[in-house]
């Protein structure tokens, strides 16, 4: 507290773009201390009542959250709260806690922790790995009741009335939902990862978010002024006056520009010389379709289905169908590309037996996991094929590195189609099948893959990291991660050329697709389908409308001949300045 | 009416066993009956069929046999209903 006046700069990973300025609300996951004192006999029944009231209040809170989640995200996600409610209100738990208070004259907090400790021990002995992992739920419930007994600060977020930045070690799904509140302007977490519930929800809300700061919740005190720079992945705590002024100007500029761009969202994405470009959206949740359409998206270029799989249980066919169908119907007649499950086994620990890997990015994930667990994969394919009766749906496979993987998927698809047919289930018979090009092997072998698939989609985030052997989550090497590295550009060119030679479309869905400085280069390399975050569409479209295709091709040729990412960046910056000058004169 | 007792053996059909969601459905079904309901697997201790913690601790995996016992006015219906939940696959019609 003594040095609380000093400004500080924390760096992390950008999970959702934009800039947020506000007062810190530090959310502590740690439970309050549990009092070991004995209570007097006359206070026993009061203590029992205090415990039961806390359970009821937490139950009401979970039900409210459940209703909110159901309205916003559909019944599948809401279902995860049912198990939590059942555990919270379990008669056995309530019974033994109450009798503990009565027999031992201990506080409600102490009685609850004793009951839960017994449960945790019992669960730790269960052989089934999935059930054993439910210890986390027991701890979550215990924590919520303890917080409520302490009239905890967990609920303070509901009452904030001015611009607030939420700071947390990590957020539980039930808490992440609170981020949708009006005055919340940003999120900072210690834990990392762009595929956590919190990151995905923050992105869908357009909430500037930096994750993986490691020390954020300790370095920041409630009430501190905080700037979240979701574009740079940086957090400024108690910023200097100049920093703050700079960001205030930025926020205003952002807002003005956003309004201005949105007003032109309906203009076509065509270059000065009349070449048409398809701008489509990357989404995580059905609720994002509305924003995508408002920003002028013509379809969904990549629907990441991971969110469905982050809950307590594997999503069933009907659950998945409901989400897919909603997206397909709301986007019709636009095309919807559904990417099949792209998670590592570590994220599915509750449903899949996994062994820890020393290098998960090179491990059992994406299509590798799906082919190893055909039950999970087939359920998803069935749901996709059924949803596809409602519009134009295409299937996209992640992490493909070997041609046999495509053959195997084709066979599974054929089996699934036949099964649906036998069951008399209406389903699409011929969804187009494409692969992500994100492993360098697939890019180099593009000509071999092309005859086997209907389209390519360049996943540049992973392609960059695999090509350059850089994990950008590792701070010491993060500056070696460069999407403009000429090696990456050559791979993109190989894939784009292969697509046009073989007559199949090639799209790009990595972050590069949403980076306005990269737009002319991508067009010049031959990519005319860009899939990006909905909020970035207007700005990229603005660039497209100011570019001449001939000039873009020349720029691409120039960049391919350069020696480093820095040189490419400089050339792109120069080209942008030229276009701006041309616009003014 | 006098109290009745009933029992029935059910085989778990769900591929992933009785994990959190099936356990929730099972407990919700049990709550509809006034009868006391108990579940046991092999020679394990009987657990309260109305407690989700108990049901999860049963750790009933795919293919395991679970004995459902009930005591009370609606014991017969309770046993039938819970056995049906145990034997359902939980995959279809959930959305």
Q: What is the 3-state secondary structure (H, E, C) of A428-486?
A: CCCCEEEEEECCHHHHHCHHHHHHHCCEEEECHHHHHHHHHCCCCCCHHHHHHCCCCCH
The residues pairing with B76 across neighbouring beta strands, listed in sequence order, are: none
φ/ψ bin of A320: left (φ > 0), alpha (ψ from -120 to 50), beta (otherwise): alpha
Rounded to whole angstroms, how far apart are CA atoms A392 and A390? 7
What is the mean pLDDT of the segment spanning A145-172?
A: 73
Q: How many CB atoms lie within 10 A of CB A164?
A: 23
The pLDDT score that the predictor gives to residue A1 is: 42
More confidently predicted of A417 and A144: A417
More confidently predicted of A385 and A133: A385
A interface test, pick of B38, B56, B88, B89 with most A CB neighbours within 10 Å? B56
Lowest mean pLDDT among A69-78, A288-297, A331-340, A403-412: A69-78
What is the mean pLDDT of the segment spanning A190-203?
A: 73
Q: Is the peptide bond before A333 cis (omega within 30 degrees of 0)?
A: yes
What is the mean pLDDT of the segment spanning A231-256?
A: 93
The pLDDT score that the predictor gives to residue A2 is: 42
Note whether A129 contacts B: Cβ–Cβ < 8 A. Answer: no
Rounded to whole angstroms, how far apart are CA atoms A66 and A74? 10
Contacting residues of A for B16, CB less than 8 Å apart = 130, 313-314, 351
Q: Which of A27, A73, A143, A197 is catalytic?
A: A197
- B95 found inside a domain: no
Average pLDDT, chain A: 88
> DSSP states of A171-228 as a string?
--HHHHGGGGSTTEEEEEESS--TTSHHHHHHHHHT--EEE--SSHHHH--TT-EEEE
For residue B17, the enclosing domain spans 4-87
What is the mean pLDDT of the segment spanning A458-479?
A: 86
Rounded to whole angstroms, how far apart are CA atoms A199 and A168? 12
Strand A209-211 to A13-16 pairing:
antiparallel
Number of domains chain B is built from: 1
- B94 found inside a domain: no
Q: Check CB contact under 8 Å for A86 and B92.
A: no
The pLDDT score that the predictor gives to residue A153 is: 43
Looking at the complex, report in whole angstroms how far the Cα of residue B31 sits from the nearest Cα belonging to chain A.
Answer: 11
- Main-chain dihedrals φ then ψ at residue A165, nearest 5 degrees: -110, 125
> Is the distance from CB of A343 to CB of A195 less than 8 angstroms?
yes
Q: Check CB contact under 8 Å for B48 and A91.
A: yes
Number of A to B CB contacts under 8 A, please give it: 83
Lowest mean pLDDT among A209-223, A243-257, A302-316: A302-316
Q: Check CB contact under 8 Å for B48 and A92.
A: yes
Instruction: Please list, in sequence order, all residues whose beta carbon lies within 8 angstroms of the beta carbon of residue A420, skipping any fewer than 6 positions away.
Output: A382, A385, A386, A427
Lowest mean pLDDT among A112-126, A131-145, A376-390, A569-583: A131-145
The pLDDT score that the predictor gives to residue A351 is: 62
More confidently predicted of A538 and A258: A538
More confidently predicted of A368 and A360: A368
Note whether A318 contacts B: Cβ–Cβ < 8 A. Answer: yes
By percentage, how much of chain A surpasses pLDDT 90? 55
The pLDDT score that the predictor gives to residue A201 is: 77
> DSSP states of A89-139 as a string?
T-HHHHHHHHHHHHHH-B-HHHHHHHHHHHHHHHHHT-S-HHHHTTHHHHH
Q: Check CB contact under 8 Å for A316 and B27.
A: no
Q: How confident is the model at residue B95 (pLDDT cuts 50, 70, 90)?
A: very low
End-to-end CA distance of chain B: 39
The gap from C-alpha A382 to its chain's centroid, in whole angstroms, comes to 24
Query: pLDDT, tens digit, for every residue of A553-583?
Result: 999 999 999 999 999 999 999 999 988 888 7
Does position A4 have pLDDT exceeding 60, yes or no? Answer: no
Query: pLDDT, tens digit, for every residue of B14-73?
Result: 887 888 888 988 999 999 999 999 999 887 778 899 999 889 888 888 889 999 999 999
Does position A36 have pLDDT exceeding 80, yes or no? Answer: no
Does position A31 have pLDDT exceeding 80, yes or no? Answer: no
- B49 found inside a domain: yes
Instruction: Please list, in sequence order, all residues whose beta carbon lies within 8 angstroms of the beta carbon of residue A358, skipping any fewer than 6 positions away.
Output: none
Does position A478 have pLDDT exceeding 70, yes or no? Answer: yes
Distances, alpha carbon A468 to alpha carbons A183, A480, A519, A563, in Å: 41, 8, 22, 14
Q: Which of B8, B13, B19, B46 is catalytic?
A: B19
Rounded to whole angstroms, how far apart are CA atoms A331 and B32? 42
Note whether A136 contacts B: Cβ–Cβ < 8 A. Answer: no
Domain A8-28+162-169+183-192+201-255 fold: Glucose Oxidase; domain 1 (3.50.30)
Contacting residues of B for A86, CB less than 8 Å apart = 23-24, 27-28, 52
Does position A3 have pLDDT exceeding 50, yes or no? Answer: no
Closest-CA residue of B relative to A352 is B16
- B57 found inside a domain: yes
Nearest alpha carbon to residue A368 among A402, A339, A335: A402
Give the Cα-Cα-Cα angle A212, A173, A325 (nearest 5 degrees): 110
Q: How would you class A533 by CB atoms within 10 Å of its CB: exposed for 0-12, middle for 13-18, buried for 19 or more?
A: buried
Give the Cα-Cα-Cα angle A247, A530, A391 (nearest 5 degrees): 120
Q: How confident is the model at residue A460 (pLDDT cuts 50, 70, 90)?
A: very high
Does position A465 have pLDDT exceeding 70, yes or no? Answer: yes
Does position B2 have pLDDT exceeding 80, yes or no? Answer: no
What is the mean pLDDT of the segment spanning A304-309?
A: 86
Note whether A312 contacts B: Cβ–Cβ < 8 A. Answer: yes
What is the mean pLDDT of the segment spanning A227-254?
A: 94
> Is the distance from CB of A336 to CB of A328 less than 8 angstroms?
yes
So where are chain A's domains? 8-28+162-169+183-192+201-255, 41-149, 264-584
Rounded to whole angstroms, how far apart are CA atoms A112 and A145? 9
Question: Which CATH class name applies to A41-149?
Answer: mainly alpha
The pLDDT score that the predictor gives to residue A148 is: 81
Rounded to whole angstroms, how far apart are CA atoms A143 and A141? 5
Whichever domain contains B55, its CATH number is 3.30.1340.10
> Is the distance from CB of A308 to CB of A288 less than 8 angstroms?
no
Instruction: Please list, in sequence order, all residues whose beta carbon lies within 8 angstroms of the beta carbon of residue A198, skipping any fewer than 6 positions away.
Output: A15, A168, A170, A171, A175, A176, A179, A187, A189, A209, A211
Q: Which residues of B touch A (CB under 8 A)?
A: 15-17, 19-21, 23-24, 27-28, 48, 50-54, 56-57, 59, 61, 90-95
> Is the distance from CB of A209 to CB of A228 less than 8 angstroms?
yes
> Is the distance from CB of A211 to CB of A196 less than 8 angstroms?
yes
What is the mean pLDDT of the segment spanning A369-395?
A: 95
In A, residues 359-388, which contact B (CB 8 Å cutoff)? 375, 379
Q: Check CB contact under 8 Å for B51 and A92.
A: yes
Rounded to whole angstroms, how far apart are CA atoms A72 and A75? 9
Sheet strands side by side (includes A164-168): A8-11, A234-237, A225-229, A19-27, A164-168, A184-189, A209-211, A13-16
What is the mean pLDDT of the segment spanning A119-124?
A: 85
More confidently predicted of A484 and A353: A484
What is the mean pLDDT of the segment spanning A535-539?
A: 88
Lowest mean pLDDT among A73-82, A331-340, A529-538, B53-62: A73-82
Check whether domain A264-584 has CATH 3.20.20.60, yes or no: yes
Lowest mean pLDDT among A120-124, A153-157, B81-85: A153-157
Does A197 participate in catalysis according to the annotation? yes
**For chain A, what is the largest distance between any 2 Cα atoms, rounded to a whole number of angstroms?**
88
Instruction: Please list, in sequence order, all residues whose beta carbon lies within 8 angstroms of the beta carbon of residue A568, skipping any fewer than 6 positions away.
Output: A484, A485, A486, A489, A521, A559, A562
Please indicate whether the domains covering A41-149 and A264-584 agree at the CATH topology level: no
By percentage, how much of chain A surpasses pLDDT 70? 91
What is the mean pLDDT of the segment spanning A353-365?
A: 80
Note whether A261 contacts B: Cβ–Cβ < 8 A. Answer: no
Contacting residues of B for A91, CB less than 8 Å apart = 48, 50-51
- B13 found inside a domain: yes
Nearest alpha carbon to residue A565 among A469, A474, A483: A483
Q: Which of A100, A370, A431, A509 is catalytic?
A: A509
In A, residues 87-106, which contact B (CB 8 Å cutoff)? 87, 90-93
What is the mean pLDDT of the segment spanning A152-159?
A: 55
Note whether A82 contacts B: Cβ–Cβ < 8 A. Answer: yes
Q: Check CB contact under 8 Å for A316 and B48.
A: no
């Amino acid at each position: 507290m003594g040095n609380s006046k000093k400004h500080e700069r924390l760096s992390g990973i950008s999970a959702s773009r934009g800039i947020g300025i506000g007062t810190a609300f530090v959310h502590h996951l740690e439970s309050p201390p549990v009092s070991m004192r004995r209570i007097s006999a006359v206070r026993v029944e009061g203590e029992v009542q205090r415990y039961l009231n806390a359970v009821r209040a937490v139950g009401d809170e979970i039900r409210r959250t459940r209703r909110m989640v159901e309205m916003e995200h559909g019944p599948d996600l809401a279902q995860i709260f049912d198990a939590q409610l059942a555990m919270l209100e379990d008669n056995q738990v309530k019974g033994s806690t109450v009798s503990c208070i009565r027999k031992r004259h201990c506080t409600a907090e102490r009685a609850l922790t004793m009951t839960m400790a017994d449960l945790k021990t019992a669960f730790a002995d269960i052989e089934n790995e999935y059930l054993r992992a439910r210890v986390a739920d027991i701890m979550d419930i215990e924590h919520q009741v303890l917080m409520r007994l302490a009239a905890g600060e967990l609920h303070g977020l509901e009452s904030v009335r001015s611009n607030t930045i939420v700071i947390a070690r990590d957020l539980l799904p039930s808490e992440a939902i609170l981020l949708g509140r009006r005055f919340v302007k940003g999120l900072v977490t210690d834990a990392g990862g762009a595929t956590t519930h919190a990151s995905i929800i923050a992105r869908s809300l357009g909430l500037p978010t930096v994750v993986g700061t490691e020390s954020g919740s300790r370095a920041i005190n409630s009430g501190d002024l905080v700037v979240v720079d979701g574009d740079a992945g940086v957090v400024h705590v108690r910023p200097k006056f100049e920093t703050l002024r700079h960001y205030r100007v930025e926020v205003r500029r952002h807002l003005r520009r956003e309004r201005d761009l949105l007003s032109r969202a309906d203009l076509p994405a065509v270059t000065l010389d009349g070449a048409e470009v398809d701008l489509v959206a990357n989404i995580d949740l059905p609720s994002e379709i509305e924003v995508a359409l408002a920003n002028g998206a013509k379809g969904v270029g990549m629907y990441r289905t991971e969110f469905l799989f982050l809950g307590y249980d594997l999503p069933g066919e009907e659950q998945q169908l409901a989400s897919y169908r909603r997206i397909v119907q709301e986007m019709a007649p636009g095309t919807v590309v559904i990417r099949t499950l792209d998670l590592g086994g570590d994220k599915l620990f509750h449903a899949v037996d996994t062994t820890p890997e020393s290098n998960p990015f090179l491990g059992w994930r994406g299509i590798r996991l799906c082919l190893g667990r055909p039950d999970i994969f087939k359920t998803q394919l069935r749901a996709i094929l059924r949803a596809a009766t409602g519009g134009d749906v295409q299937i996209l496979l992640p992490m493909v590195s070997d041609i046999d993987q495509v053959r195997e998927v084709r066979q599974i698809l054929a089996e699934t189609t036949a099964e649906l047919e036998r069951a008399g289930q209406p389903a699409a018979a011929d969804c187009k099948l494409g692969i992500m090009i994100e492993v360098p092997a697939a890019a180099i072998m593009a000509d071999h893959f092309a005859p086997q698939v209907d389209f390519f989609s360049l996943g540049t985030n992973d392609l960059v990291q695999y090509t350059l052997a850089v994990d950008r989550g590792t701070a010491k090497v993060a500056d070696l991660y460069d999407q403009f590295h000429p090696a990456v550009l050559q791979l993109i060119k190989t894939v784009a050329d292969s697509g046009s030679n073989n007559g199949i479309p090639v799209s790009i869905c990595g972050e590069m697709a949403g980076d306005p400085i990269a737009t002319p280069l991508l067009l010049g390399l031959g990519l005319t389908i860009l899939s990006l975050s909905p909020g970035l569409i207007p700005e990229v479209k603005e660039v497209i409308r100011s570019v001449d295709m001939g000039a873009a091709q020349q720029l691409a040729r120039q960049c391919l001949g350069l020696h480093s990412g820095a040189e490419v960046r400089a050339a792109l910056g120069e080209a942008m300045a030229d276009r701006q000058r041309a616009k003014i004169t | 009416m006098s109290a009745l007792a009933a029992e029935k053996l059910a085989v778990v059909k769900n591929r992933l066993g009785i994990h959190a969601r099936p356990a929730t459905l099972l407990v919700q079904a049990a709550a509809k009956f006034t009868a006391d309901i108990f579940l046991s697997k092999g020679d394990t201790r009987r657990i309260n069929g109305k407690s989700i913690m108990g049901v999860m601790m049963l750790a009933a995996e795919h293919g395991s046999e679970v004995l459902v016992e009930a005591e009370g006015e609606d014991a017969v219906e309770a046993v039938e209903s819970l056995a049906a939940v145990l034997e359902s696959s939980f995959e279809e019609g959930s959305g």
